[in-house]
Structure 1
């Protein structure tokens, strides 16, 4: 199902996990791609939003997990570029396997055979890199290489599994599927402090928020006592 959140942003509800479609100044951008069996539904959503498949220019991956990268291979053959955080990019390409040294690694390896790595180029991003109007923010916790993408121009934060919608508010993902809960809370506080203002909060699970996204993220940071001062540029 495709729901329009603003003139430029569409929510693709895939049944328990979300993807998003964004018209970023004429560059059509997909955020995450769902499970392996969601690839066709993602492509259908592009058409339902009244675009042609060839209009799709880029994919922003928030992190390596089956339910966020599984549908990428279905996009092979389209002229686009995939972007992912530097920590997870080698996993997305299949060049590296998830490490056993992190709690989620064993599970990711277990479900790894369900993921077909995309043939499309995957560009690794570091903190502060810009892709169109989006800035990448390294937000480790749910996975070591998790990234959130914020566009001040579009008033949008694609949050992946840094947070989820729960009972009409933002919350962190459950500890049992989070690599490092302390790091995740710190990432919430850091993003709330450093990211520009945004209205739309687009989590990987649950219902996105069309208004007050930055305030909701700041409120979540405050709940954990993790309020931080915004980063200041060097003098």
Structure 2
């Protein structure tokens, strides 16, 4: 089984300017035995994604899985570019007109490649929100967390993620804590990847 690598193609952002939300999500590529793209940004970003793949010697047809951590518009905008892939949007798994049932509610991760890459339920921001766990040789355990985490700063200032909307804040806290304790790096929905520190884990223990 080949080693998996993480490529943050585009770092997300989110700001409020004169009562208008300016935002786009982080787009992440996972390469290895399977190629996975997580959160495909807005429909206006297709050319940027094409180019980001091209410089890595990949085409859209080389992607095995498209994962949208949830169905908000800035996370699904270019899913249609990847027609060879199995798509996972929240907890819905499908390819073409075939939709597959999977018991995410049972706490079982959905494996994309053995134990190296899996999708697991992290409800809170939306009730069908999922995240992607990747075991890598260079970074350890990386969780592509979508809007479970808005950005690194919200680890110590929860008002940031709460202001971005949460269908169930209690569930979101529960899954945020689990990810903080079990990962080495987190890729949030609207900011750069960050390393999980002991100080961050202390926010869970306390």
Is 2:137 the partner of 1:137? no
Aligned partner (choices 13, 29, 35) of residue 36 of structure 2: 29
Maintained 8 Å contact 2:111/2:118: yes
Map 1:100-119; keep pairs closer than 5 Å: none
Structure 1 spans left out of the alignment, 5+ residues: 1-5, 94-117, 226-235
Partner secondary structure for residue 73 of structure 1: helix
Partner secondary structure for residue 164 of structure 1: coil
Given the two structures, how large is their TM-score scaled by the length of structure 2?
A: 0.73
Higher relative contact order (CA 8 A, sep 6+): 2
Is 2:198 the partner of 1:191? no
Q: In the TM superposition, what whole-angstrom CA distance separates every residue of 1:109-141 from its partner, at most 9, and x where no partner exists?
A: xxxxxxxxx957665652322111223221111
Which structure has the highest strand share of the two?
2
Q: CA deviation at 1:54?
A: 2.7
Is 2:129 the partner of 1:146? yes
Would you say how many aligned residue pairs link Structure 1 and Structure 2?
182
Maintained 8 Å contact 1:40/1:74: no
Maintained 8 Å contact 2:12/2:27: no
- 2 CA distance for matches of 1:71 and 1:216? 37
Is 2:41 the partner of 1:20? no
> Given the superposition, is the C-alpha separation of residues 168 and 60 from structure 1 closer, same or farther in structure 2, using an over 3 Å criterion?
same
Maintained 8 Å contact 1:82/1:120: no
Given the two structures, how large is their TM-score scaled by the length of structure 1?
A: 0.65
Q: What's the counterpart of residue 193 of structure 2?
A: 208
